[in-house]
Every structure is written in C-alpha cells, then in structure tokens.
Structure 1
Amino acid sequence: MFQKPPKAATSSGSNYIRISRDALIIDATMIGSSLQEENHLKVLRLLAVNPHMNQRSLANALGVSLGKANYCLNALLDKGFIKMESFRKSSNKLAYAYLLTPVGIAEKAGLTVRFLERKVTEYERLTREIEVLKSEMSQIQGDANL
C-alpha cells in the first residue's frame, strides 16, 4: 500500500525534498484497534444518552450497516460493558434498552482518554506536516523565481 520513498538528494539545485520516513510509516494493527475503540466509544456515548435507541437508529447515527451495529453491540454485551433489558409491559415486545454497566462506564472513560490522546497526537503530527508542506511550497516558489 505504502512505498518507501527514494533517498532524497541533498545537493543544491536538486528537485528532491527530504521527507522524514517516520511521517510515512503507519502501523496497520494500531489503526484497526483504534478504529474499533472509536466505534465502541461512539456506541457507548450514544447509549449513555439514549439507552432506548434501537439498532437501526444506532446504525444510522454511526453511519454503518445494521449488521455492523449489531456486531458492535454484541461485542460490548460480551465484554460486559452494556446490558440489555426488555420491557415486558411494552406493546412492542422487541423493545430493549441498552444500559451501560459500571464496567462499561469505566471503559467509556478509558476509551475517551485514549481517543483524546490519539487525536492530540494526530493534531500535532498534522501540524508538523503542514509546516513541512509550507516550507516545501516556499522552496518551490523560490526556485521558480530563479
């Protein structure tokens, strides 16, 4: 997917610009787990506000398929982060409430902290990348004026 960039030339008058390899390396396992954590956090946040939300509404709010929402809910149920309660007095026998358990509330807090740390790191990386790009543009415009 990503190719290693060629070694940059450093002689003056060169059209090559040195780019840090660290900026181009992405750990796919970290992306997968962080996306899963992000989805779980979104579900926990939505259910904390509206425990009566049905799976279709949850899927729409998340922008995912009904099957993915169901899979995510089952994963959270299996981990003990949420519990499902049915309403026996309800005329709709399929009406459930998804309630956060004490473990789920603690996990939501931990997910929130990790999410914020990732986003701050991402913001700092993007800020550095923008500065590099601005520098490259200045160099290119300076070379064009010669």
Structure 2
Amino acid sequence: MLISLALGTRPGGTIYRIFRLADLGQIEIIVAAESLLEFRTSIARKAGLRRRFPPVLIESFIAEVEAFAEVLVPLPAPAPPRCRDPRDDYLIEQALLHNADVIVTGDDDLLVLSEQFGAIPILSPRQFLDQLDREAAGSSPKG
C-alpha cells in the first residue's frame, strides 16, 4: 500500500480513504520498519519508479508516513515461515507480536492466507473499507 500511496491516490479512492481515516484518528496504522525498507528497495530496483521518486522525495514521503503511523522496530531474528513468499513472513510475525486487529494489503501472497490464517484477518484495502462501513452502519442509531 505504501507504493500506491506514494504514487498518488485520488481523493475518495480506497487507499486515500484508509490513510484519511488514520489522519482523522479513526483508525491506527502500524507499519513494520521492514516495509519501509522494502519500499525504498522497490523504488531503487525499478527504473520508472526511480525517475519519479528522487531520494529526497522518498525520505520526505517516509517522514510523512512516520508522522501518522506507528513504525515498528525490525524483528530481532528471521520470522518463521508462514507465506508462499518468504519475504512476507515478517508482516505476519509483526502483526502477531503487536496484536494487530487486521492486516490490510494488496499482496496476493498474503491475501491467499486470509482463509487459513485465522488469528488476524487479512483483507484487501477494499475489503477493509467495506468492513468498516458495515461496522459503522451497525453502530448507527436506528431512527
């Protein structure tokens, strides 16, 4: 989701709405330090992204993320294997260690775990917003 946010989301779009809810204090976002490193390396690996994001812009974006999200310290040891992409194992481990309510991701390697990993729901950004909308509708006073 970090790259989607950095690329610019349209106001009212799914990613925009999630980060807007965090900005308003309605939800809390936690970000693994490993995700910020992955963000940096993903941009460095892809020429198109490198052209769009000079280093100063990357650091400015990360500072903005750090301003509204809790950034978790890196895991002290490799995470146990849980995902078909071992590079995503840290996300599950961090979520478990910090008692996350939900993992929100667009990563198919994590989304396929949503059925078999029952401890913490793993939802796409759209599913997450839909869930929040259902919860808000259920808590509204009936008139």
TM-score band w.r.t. shorter chain: under 0.3
What TM-score comes out, normalization by structure 1 length? 0.26
Larger radius of gyration: 1
